[in-house]
Amino acid sequence: MKRKGTWLCEKCGSKQEEMFKSCSCGHHVFLEKEEFEKRKIAFEEGKIEFQFNDGGRKEAGFKGTTGDCVTRAIAIATGKPYKEVYDAINELGKREYITKKKKSKSNSRTGVYKQTIRRYMEGLGWKWTPTMFIGSGCKVHLRKDELPSGVLLLSLSKHSATVINGVLHDIYDCSRNGTRCVYGYFSKE
């Protein structure tokens, strides 16, 4: 390792004259410029591509936008008609119980509980793979270089979206510029 030179903070990119201090951002891993640039390019190249896809909502005659991300993501992932998924989710919602902790039922338009998504997807033969574990931090981000190929229905914080071979299908780019954490995904066996 060179003694002299300029290092860049791995996290925020700010310059550092001394290797042994902590960066003002709190991070303490520094890289030489060449390595920093190499990683930056790799980071950019690994980002997901975005494709607008409403899952067939508009075509099915629905107006406006709502909190239908689960319905949309399932319709895109499975190739089922939007209305069919919409109705199936509402049917499953009707069978849910209201408890002290769970004050509402799953609804295609406003939000679907995780257990209900799982019940529906597993019923269609899809397998759940968790990618986030308590106390281990985020291991998989919404990026094509961190996700397997194929069709994946992703579970994100307060959102669901489908990725098809490295392309994100949603009504907006929800990848947070390649930094959003993936909690887990459904894939067809």
Question: Which residues form the interface with Zn ion (CB under 5 A)?
Answer: 9, 11-12, 23, 25, 27
51 alpha carbon, distance to own chain's centre = 14
Tell the residue number behind the tokens 């980071």, with chain if given. 43
Strand partners, 107: 111
Q: Which is nearer to Zn ion, 8 or 69 (CB)?
A: 8
As measured in angstroms, the least distance from the Cβ of 15 to Zn ion is 10
Q: Which is nearer to Zn ion, 27 or 102 (CB)?
A: 27
Q: Which is nearer to Zn ion, 8 or 112 (CB)?
A: 8
As measured in angstroms, the least distance from the Cβ of 184 to Zn ion is 30
Tally: H helices and E strands in the chain: 4, 9
Q: Which is nearer to Zn ion, 21 or 94 (CB)?
A: 21
Please give the full DSSP string across 123-184, using - where no structure is assigned. HTTEEEEE-B-TTS-B--BSBTTTS-SSEEEEEETTEEEEEETTEEEESS--SGGGTPBP-E
As measured in angstroms, the least distance from the Cβ of 28 to Zn ion is 9
As measured in angstroms, the least distance from the Cβ of 148 to Zn ion is 31
Q: Which is nearer to Zn ion, 10 or 173 (CB)?
A: 10
Angle subtended at Cα 83 by Cα 81 and Cα 89, rounded to the nearest 5 degrees: 105
As measured in angstroms, the least distance from the Cβ of 43 to Zn ion is 15
CB neighbours of 119 closer than 8 A, spacing ≥ 6? 92
71 alpha carbon, distance to own chain's centre = 15
